[in-house]
Structure 1
Amino acid sequence: MILLSFDTEEFDVPREHGVDFSLEAGMKVSKEGTNRILDVLKQNGVKATFFCTGNFAENAPEVMQRIMDEGHEVACHGVDHWQPTETDFVRSKEIVERVTGRQVYGYRQPRMFPVVESEIKRAGYRYNSSLNPAFIPGRYMHLTAPRTWFMKDGVMQIPASVSPWLRFPLFWLSLHNLPEGLYHWLVKRVLKHDGYFVTYFHPWEFYDLKEHPEFKMPFIIKNHSGRQMMDRLDRLVKMLLAQGHEFITYTEFVNKQKI
């Protein structure tokens, strides 16, 4: 089973590097990137889960509609990606459900910061996917956290997949920079060990970042961005389909566990 997801947020990475970047500019990048992602998924006939910020949902209702029309799941990803708070999960759910007209079951905190699971449960979520169980300098130190799904305070926790032994993270940055053959091999190892694979990307990765030096983006983020990233995602999906794996939404995964 493949749990493919996208943190569908307003593009704010330039702000991390001292660039004055507006919400309008960020939304332009993320709208284009999301449509490119949807094109790849549609061509391959697979489903994914889109974790959307309140900002994105309110400023891109037409893209939100396309996500739903093409059979994908919408989940929540806070309100303002640049300034996340521990209580955003409530407002995020209110906004996304109002925009989509659908009940939302899942949450992921911006930048995978920690949340209080008991509050997540109280807000009506069934699962939380805010954990990358790896060591990433300056970001995560979760080497003792479970690698695979587990229950906490009545909420299913769905961590991002890491390699079985060394806990090498297999998230978006890895597909940008590893040789594709090595990334595919590591994914297959996870599938053989765990029986399922969880990963996530962002719309702005599929925007042509190399054409915008004014964004002041680090090489490891710009590397293979834009159309090259579309091709990398397409080849990853095709490899997994050829191996006979099924793409499911996060809520479908929760339902399969019969919790």
Structure 2
Amino acid sequence: MILLSFDIEEFDMPFEYGKTISFDDQLSISTQGTLSILRILKDAGVKATFYTTANYAMHRPEVVMQIINEGHELASHGFYHSEFKPEHLAQSKQKLEEIGGVTVKGYRMARMMPVDEREIEKAGYVYNSSINPTWLPGRYNNFSKPRTWFYHHNVLQLPSSVSPLIRFPLFWLSFHNLPMGILKMLSASTHRKDGYLNLYFHPWEFTDLDQPERFGFPGYVVRNTGNAFIQRLTDFIAWGKRKGYEFSRTDQYVEKIFKTGKS
């Protein structure tokens, strides 16, 4: 099983690199990327999960409705991407459900930062996918966390996928920088060990980020963005289908765990 997920948010990442970007541009870049993602998924005939901020959804409700109407899952990525308060957990869920007319079951914290699981349960979420169970300098120190799904405070935790043993993260940066052959090898070994892959990306990766004056991103962020990344994900999905892997929305996979107690 391969769970593809996309964090749909206002594109505020340039602020981390000392650049400014208007809110309209943040929305435009995220929307352009989201529409590219939807085309990829439609052409491949697979469904995915879109963790969306309420702030983005309020400004682009037509994109949210396209996500839903094309059969994908709408989940919460918080209310704002660069601001968090515990009350945003319930507020973002309520707003997304109001806009989309669907039940929101999943949550992912912005930038995969820690979040109080008791607050997640209180807000009414069924599952949380906010853990990258590896170590990255200045970002994550999660070697003590399980690699695969587990329960905590009555909420199913679904960490992003990392390879067995060395816990090499199979996240968006890996898809930009590793040769596809190595990435597929790591993905296959992880799928063989865990029975599934939980992968996450962002819409702005599917636009051209190689604009130093505008964004200020380092080479490992901009490598293989835009059309190159569209081709990379298209190729990866085709490879997964040839391997016989199923693709699923996260909520449907979580429901399977509830029913069977296993991957």
Smaller-chain TM-score range? over 0.9
Q: Secondary structure at the match of 2:103?
A: coil
TM-superposed CA distance for 1:56, in Å, is: 1.1
Whole-Å Cα distance in 2 between the matches of residues 10 and 172 of structure 1? 17
Whole-Å Cα distance in 2 between the matches of residues 171 and 99 of structure 1? 29
Query: How many residues matched?
Result: 259
Would you say 1:10 and 2:7 are equivalent positions? no
Would you say 1:184 and 2:184 are equivalent positions? yes
Map 1:91-240 onto structure 2 (within 5 A). Answer: 91-211=91-211, 213-240=213-240
TM-superposed CA distance for 1:212, in Å, is: 6.0
Q: Which moved more, 1:54-63 or 1:168-177?
A: 54-63
TM-superposed CA distance for 1:80, in Å, is: 1.1
TM-score normalised by the chain length of structure 2: 0.96
Would you say 1:246 and 2:212 are equivalent positions? no
Work out whether residues 48 and 73 of structure 2, in 8 Å CA contact, stay in contact via their aligned partners in 1: yes
TM-superposed CA distance for 1:258, in Å, is: 2.0
TM-superposed CA distance for 1:22, in Å, is: 2.2
Letter in 1 for 2:114: P
Task: Give the CA RMSD over aligned residues.
Answer: 1.1
Q: Secondary structure at the match of 2:125?
A: coil
Percent identity between matched residues is 46
Letter in 1 for 2:76: C
TM-superposed CA distance for 1:32, in Å, is: 0.1
Deviations 1:192-240 (CA, angstroms, capped at 9, x unpaired)? 0000000100000001112463111111111000010000000010000
Work out whether residues 11 and 26 of structure 2, in 8 Å CA contact, stay in contact via their aligned partners in 1: yes
Deviations 1:98-125 (CA, angstroms, capped at 9, x unpaired)? 1101110000010111111122112111
Whole-Å Cα distance in 2 between the matches of residues 143 and 74 of structure 1? 29
Whole-Å Cα distance in 2 between the matches of residues 129 and 184 of structure 1? 22
Letter in 1 for 2:30: S
In structure 2, runs of 5+ residues without a counterpart are: none
Q: Which moved more, 1:226-235 or 1:205-214?
A: 205-214
Q: Secondary structure at the match of 1:92?
A: helix
Would you say 1:50 and 2:50 are equivalent positions? yes
Whole-Å Cα distance in 1 between the matches of residues 170 and 98 of structure 2? 33
